[in-house]
Structure 1
Amino acid sequence: MMTKLEKNILNSFNEVIEHLSNSEGRNALQGMQRGIEREALRINGSGELATDRHPQALGSALTHSRITTDYSESLLEFITPVYKDIDNLLQDLTYTHAFTVQNLDNQRLWPVSMPCYVGDVKDIPIANYGISNPGMMKSLYRKGLTYRYGAQMQIISGVHFNFSVSNELWNNLYAYSGSSLTKSDFISESYLGLIRNYRRMVWVLPYLFGASPALCSSFIKQQETDIPFEKMGKGTLYLPYATSLRMSDLGYTNKEQEQLNISYDSLDKYLAGMKVAIGKSSKNFEEIGVKVDGEYRQLNANVLQIENEFYSPIRAKRVTENGEKPSEALARAGIEYIEVRALDVNPYSPIGIEGSQVRFLDLFLLHCLLNTAPASDAAQEAEISSNLSRVILEGRKPGLELSRNGESITLSAWMNQLFDDLERLSVLLDDGSDGAYHQALIRWRAAVDDPERSISGLIMKELKSAQTDHGYWVKALAETYFNTLNEYPLPESVEQQYRQAAAVSIEKQRVMEVETNQSFDAFLAEYFAEPSPEVKTQVSNA
């Protein structure tokens, strides 16, 4: 039975959908913009982590806008421009993958989130961005991550999905709301509402798209864990009903941040919380030291070295101007888009994500945006955390119950209610098209009725039926995708564009290094002082 709050939320959602059901509303809804960032480890032919430098043919990881590195020299990151058309978005990402693989000197890309076999973690090479001050700062930030959390955690891969709605939709919703806020403030507060609702429902994504129910035992090594793993084959650890071990305590988490309580109730509160986090010293990180025997170990000893260290399954974003920090951009002009960070790499796609996932994300995020989004208290925050943890570790368990507003509800019942809402949205988005949103819902609703049709379910079924270790299975996939991408027919004009972009990025880094005329100590001191944009070029996306 629905609570009064849930009924009010449902009524509000239905009213907004009804309002947007005319041609103007449908066109406004269909104007969404998206971008994808996909991470992938480079491996050698035997399936081990590549330890050589970032390939020269791919350009400068510091200045290239499309092909860069994340934590490690071995951890590539592919970044698409913003697209309105999903097919064009995925085509672009495919081009980037194909060009990269064709210039990797016979190396492969590891097609899952959890790392390949790693012997000594000391062999994991931290990303090198050259000798300019911005480049050295990016490398030092990663060195700090190593001291804080270990290199092993930092080479876990994921997919980030950037999402915004059209200005036409904002105009429509702003007029419909009768809000007394400025339009800019209305947009920011609406995106924060999306974030609040997303956090309540984020467990949906690992349930459907979680792709790390198993991992190689080499990842654990001497790490202590309370997770009751079962073992398969020679070295595969798994949980029978797990969905995304990447999002568990084994993965990309930060215990230091759990006490920050960053608020999403308003932009002012969010920015104030981030300011505290960046300026708050950590006793644990103080013990590491900042500069020891003349050598830097981390940027500072605060809970967050910089804002990028804030580990959250979703972020509020705005494109930064030259030298701006993320919070400065948000304070200047408000939220421009959101970044979804709860996606495992999909091993059933050579580019880590496929079209039906993108369409589901569109529907899911619109649902989060168009629903009433009340603030959450401490009890609700605990509920959010508990639901996510349960789905991560046992999401496919038959009859699994979650908690919604303090009352028990089965995962399947909750998801079926969600899919009913998403069906109404799909009708508006599919208007005048081929019904792709409806087909996406059919694909993923099947996983609600049968958990084995989720990505994690498919993986476990395949591992058990083949009686093979996770590492062997992934290595075979890597080989298949290597052949697919290595033989992919890149248009000559596209290949030339990538070669030109690589050359331009290398020259841009060279100029930066020649023009470096300030000591690194002075550069850092100035960067962490009050805003002084001229010294911050190229580090805002560290």
Structure 2
Amino acid sequence: MKHTNLESKLETLANTALVPSLSSIQRGIEREALRIQPSGKIAKTSHPKGVGHPLTHNSITTDFSESLLEFITPVSTSAEQTLSQLRDLQKYTLANMGDEMLWPMSMPCFIEDQDDIVLAQFGNSNIGKMKTLYREGLKNRYGSMMQAIAGVHFNMSFPDAFWDALKATEQNQDTLQDFISNKYLGLIRNFKRELWLISYLFGASPALCRSFLQGKESDLPFEASGKGTLYLAKGTALRLGDLGYTNSAQSSLKVMYNSLPEYVKGLQTAIRCRSDLYESIDDYRASEPKQLNKNILQIENEFYSPIRPKRNANPQETPTQALARGGIEYIEIRALDVNPFSDTGISLEQIRFLDVFLTYCLLKDSPEMSWDEQQVSDKNLQSVISTGRDTETQLQQGDSAVSVEAWAKSIFSDLIKVASLFDKAHGNNAYSDTIATLAAWVDNSDETFSGKLVAALGAQSADSSEQALDLAKQYKEEHLQRAYQFYQEAELNAQAAQSFIDEQAICQSDELTLKAFLQDYFEKA
């Protein structure tokens, strides 16, 4: 039997320092969760004061709307520890939320009016006002409903020992940082090619509340359940589709991933080019601004991508300036729905799968990706979003058509080989067991997250909101009864108090008007 390039590479790496280094992969998770009233409607209260200031707290903040909490874990090499941190942060926040709960789904609860979605407030400092004005711009460009969608972001980096071993094995002559950046870009290209598999396995938004459409028509093959639920019988992740957290206005942006200068140039062009679409919306120079500026992107964060190359930025540095200065440091996966079957929104099983899948994407050959190929990968994703649990759904792979089932099985045949390296690094079979379990989901799509959610809808003729509300109550009770696992309550109290002190210090350090501050910011961007 002829070995593939990946198999040959894995055999070469099997006895190098790369294998033990896999136990030192660094991860961080950002989990978003909508605050809801006991009735299941969106909360209209302000960010819970008891948990700290959203501008300066490192672990508990808000995302785009005031009711959309975001929990951020520190970097850790232990997946179990990361989940313990998430549980503690959620327990602490729930204890400061009165009778409110955390919505355990990506697509939002019943929202009567878009005005119920209050923009996140970050205080009176210039940077705080800038954050809120950015969100005002998002509302005026794309509508408020998008700002109530929740997701999970998975940040990951490989340790130095991994890179040293891989570079030596490949006898690569680039500088170490150039080697790392190029390998991460290869990972990103392969991830984009096979992103549809993430949607198939972990898509957990096959249904939405009719109120989300706000009276708009959709040509998706929706079926109805209960009083107001619309769902796709074979769908997976509406959050990643045209109705979800996407921006069709950005479809003209040709951001490419074949080299770091190319990627940086693509994004920087977008934040400097005016857009006719937003010309009529007043920007920061007006007396009552409704957006930061009139460019295609107000800032780089507005670029919606399921995966991003990242580097920790210095003060006053934009994300692309940080990348241009120091190269890629880690990657951020933004394609995960909130897992409603986990109290943390993401499970240990998912983390292990992502460890294996991302390593596979990095080690596998990754030819350059044309703009046309990016469009094909997006079309494949949209097909899986709509009908992917029909595993005979056809996807385009190169010049050929291939079924979801056939392509997925091909990928899993490689993933099991990569998983064996992780087993060796950790001294157990946990990774191989995980890959074997998820591989079986290809034969039975009812085992996927979306499959379980749709089955429950069909069996009960229920609303998805009833499922979610029951889980929200269950998870709140469990969190409040569970003892802290990583943090101490006193430690979290101290962090909350310090965040208010830090926010005041930022306010007092402001020397410019907001208009002058923003002008200076954009001149340097």
Equivalent in the alignment of 1:405: 398
Is residue 284 from structure 1 mapped to residue 277 from structure 2 by the alignment? yes
Equivalent in the alignment of 1:536: none
Equivalent in the alignment of 2:460: 466
Contact 1:102 1:485 in 2 (8 A): no
Contact 1:243 1:394 in 2 (8 A): yes
Equivalent in the alignment of 2:232: 239
Please give the alpha-carbon distance, in whole angstroms, between the structure 2 residues aligned to 1:512 and 1:378.
42
| 1:339-362 superposed Cα distances (whole Å, 9 cap, x missing partner) | 001000000011101000000000
Please give the alpha-carbon distance, in whole angstroms, between the structure 2 residues aligned to 1:24 and 1:135.
45
Contact 2:282 2:288 in 1 (8 A): no
Is the alpha carbon distance of 1:19 and 1:283 closer, same or farther for their aligned partners in structure 2, counting shifts above 3 Å?
Answer: same
Shift of residue 105 of structure 1?
1.1
Equivalent in the alignment of 1:534: none
Equivalent in the alignment of 2:302: 309
Equivalent in the alignment of 1:115: 108
Equivalent in the alignment of 2:187: 194
Equivalent in the alignment of 1:153: 146
Amino acid aligned to 2:273: K
Is residue 393 from structure 1 mapped to residue 393 from structure 2 by the alignment? no
Amino acid aligned to 2:457: L
Segments of structure 1 that go 5 or more residues without pairing to the other structure are 1-6, 532-542
Match of 1:171 among 160, 164, 170: 164
Is the alpha carbon distance of 1:491 and 1:379 closer, same or farther for their aligned partners in structure 2, counting shifts above 3 Å?
Answer: closer
Equivalent in the alignment of 2:5: 12
Contact 1:31 1:84 in 2 (8 A): yes
Deviates more, 1:256-265 or 1:374-383: 374-383
Contact 2:88 2:485 in 1 (8 A): no
Amino acid aligned to 1:302: N
Please give the alpha-carbon distance, in whole angstroms, between the structure 2 residues aligned to 1:203 and 1:59.
38
| 1:495-537 superposed Cα distances (whole Å, 9 cap, x missing partner) | 1111111000011001211232211110000000126xxxxxx
| 1:371-397 superposed Cα distances (whole Å, 9 cap, x missing partner) | 111112344223212111100111101
Q: Secondary structure, in 3 states, of the residue corresponding to 2:271? A: helix
Is the alpha carbon distance of 1:269 and 1:378 closer, same or farther for their aligned partners in structure 2, counting shifts above 3 Å?
Answer: closer
Match of 1:219 among 177, 199, 212: 212
Shift of residue 98 of structure 1?
1.0
Is residue 369 from structure 1 mapped to residue 362 from structure 2 by the alignment? yes
Please give the alpha-carbon distance, in whole angstroms, between the structure 1 residues aligned to 2:292 and 2:378.
30
Is residue 475 from structure 1 mapped to residue 450 from structure 2 by the alignment? no
Please give the alpha-carbon distance, in whole angstroms, between the structure 2 residues aligned to 1:11 and 1:448.
22
Shift of residue 466 of structure 1?
2.1
Contact 1:214 1:239 in 2 (8 A): yes
Contact 1:271 1:331 in 2 (8 A): yes
Equivalent in the alignment of 2:438: 444
Contact 2:6 2:365 in 1 (8 A): yes
Please give the alpha-carbon distance, in whole angstroms, between the structure 2 residues aligned to 1:458 and 1:21.
38
Shift of residue 24 of structure 1?
2.2
Contact 2:88 2:487 in 1 (8 A): no
Contact 1:140 1:297 in 2 (8 A): yes
Shift of residue 62 of structure 1?
0.1
Match of 1:505 among 493, 499, 515: 499
Is residue 298 from structure 1 mapped to residue 291 from structure 2 by the alignment? yes
Contact 1:188 1:335 in 2 (8 A): yes
Q: Secondary structure, in 3 states, of the residue corresponding to 1:36? A: strand
Contact 1:198 1:365 in 2 (8 A): yes
Match of 2:248 among 251, 255, 264: 255
Contact 2:152 2:338 in 1 (8 A): yes
| 1:11-70 superposed Cα distances (whole Å, 9 cap, x missing partner) | 221122112211523112332111100000011111111111111111010000000000
Q: How many residues align?
A: 524
Contact 1:313 1:341 in 2 (8 A): yes
Shift of residue 291 of structure 1?
5.0
| 1:238-293 superposed Cα distances (whole Å, 9 cap, x missing partner) | 11100001111001111121111101000010011111111111111112232586
Please give the alpha-carbon distance, in whole angstroms, between the structure 2 residues aligned to 1:493 and 1:473.
31
Please give the alpha-carbon distance, in whole angstroms, between the structure 2 residues aligned to 1:152 and 1:173.
45
Match of 1:336 among 310, 317, 329: 329
Please give the alpha-carbon distance, in whole angstroms, between the structure 1 residues aligned to 2:392 and 2:315.
51
| 1:390-410 superposed Cα distances (whole Å, 9 cap, x missing partner) | 001111014222111110111
Amino acid aligned to 2:458: K
Contact 2:117 2:147 in 1 (8 A): no
Please give the alpha-carbon distance, in whole angstroms, between the structure 1 residues aligned to 2:281 and 2:16.
59
Please give the alpha-carbon distance, in whole angstroms, between the structure 2 residues aligned to 1:371 and 1:398.
24
Q: Secondary structure, in 3 states, of the residue corresponding to 2:279? A: helix
Please give the alpha-carbon distance, in whole angstroms, between the structure 1 residues aligned to 2:22 and 2:487.
33
Amino acid aligned to 2:316: G
Is the alpha carbon distance of 1:11 and 1:446 closer, same or farther for their aligned partners in structure 2, counting shifts above 3 Å?
Answer: closer
Amino acid aligned to 2:168: A
Amino acid aligned to 1:496: A
Equivalent in the alignment of 2:512: 518
Please give the alpha-carbon distance, in whole angstroms, between the structure 2 residues aligned to 1:231 and 1:493.
44
Please give the alpha-carbon distance, in whole angstroms, between the structure 2 residues aligned to 1:56 and 1:136.
18
Amino acid aligned to 1:312: S
Equivalent in the alignment of 1:141: 134
Q: Secondary structure, in 3 states, of the residue corresponding to 1:90? A: helix
Shift of residue 81 of structure 1?
0.7
Q: Secondary structure, in 3 states, of the residue corresponding to 1:340? A: strand
CA RMSD of aligned residues (A): 1.6
Is residue 495 from structure 1 mapped to residue 489 from structure 2 by the alignment? yes
Contact 1:317 1:337 in 2 (8 A): yes
Amino acid aligned to 2:212: F
Amino acid aligned to 1:527: Y
Contact 1:360 1:441 in 2 (8 A): yes
Q: Secondary structure, in 3 states, of the residue corresponding to 2:278? A: helix
Q: Secondary structure, in 3 states, of the residue corresponding to 1:281? A: coil
Amino acid aligned to 2:465: G
Equivalent in the alignment of 1:453: 447
Please give the alpha-carbon distance, in whole angstroms, between the structure 1 residues aligned to 2:481 and 2:303.
39
Runs of 4+ in 1 over 3 A off after TM superposition: none
Is the alpha carbon distance of 1:175 and 1:291 closer, same or farther for their aligned partners in structure 2, counting shifts above 3 Å?
Answer: closer
Is the alpha carbon distance of 1:26 and 1:398 closer, same or farther for their aligned partners in structure 2, counting shifts above 3 Å?
Answer: closer
Contact 2:416 2:436 in 1 (8 A): no
Is the alpha carbon distance of 1:379 and 1:284 closer, same or farther for their aligned partners in structure 2, counting shifts above 3 Å?
Answer: closer
Amino acid aligned to 2:131: K
Please give the alpha-carbon distance, in whole angstroms, between the structure 1 residues aligned to 2:270 and 2:511.
31
Is the alpha carbon distance of 1:133 and 1:364 closer, same or farther for their aligned partners in structure 2, counting shifts above 3 Å?
Answer: same
Please give the alpha-carbon distance, in whole angstroms, between the structure 2 residues aligned to 1:331 and 1:507.
33
Q: Secondary structure, in 3 states, of the residue corresponding to 1:30? A: helix
TM-score (normalizing by structure 2):
0.97
Shift of residue 214 of structure 1?
0.7
Is residue 272 from structure 1 mapped to residue 265 from structure 2 by the alignment? yes
Contact 1:19 1:25 in 2 (8 A): no
Please give the alpha-carbon distance, in whole angstroms, between the structure 2 residues aligned to 1:424 and 1:394.
29
Is the alpha carbon distance of 1:29 and 1:466 closer, same or farther for their aligned partners in structure 2, counting shifts above 3 Å?
Answer: same
Amino acid aligned to 2:483: P
Shift of residue 417 of structure 1?
1.3
Please give the alpha-carbon distance, in whole angstroms, between the structure 2 residues aligned to 1:493 and 1:375.
44
Q: Secondary structure, in 3 states, of the residue corresponding to 2:396? A: strand
Please give the alpha-carbon distance, in whole angstroms, between the structure 2 residues aligned to 1:24 and 1:178.
15
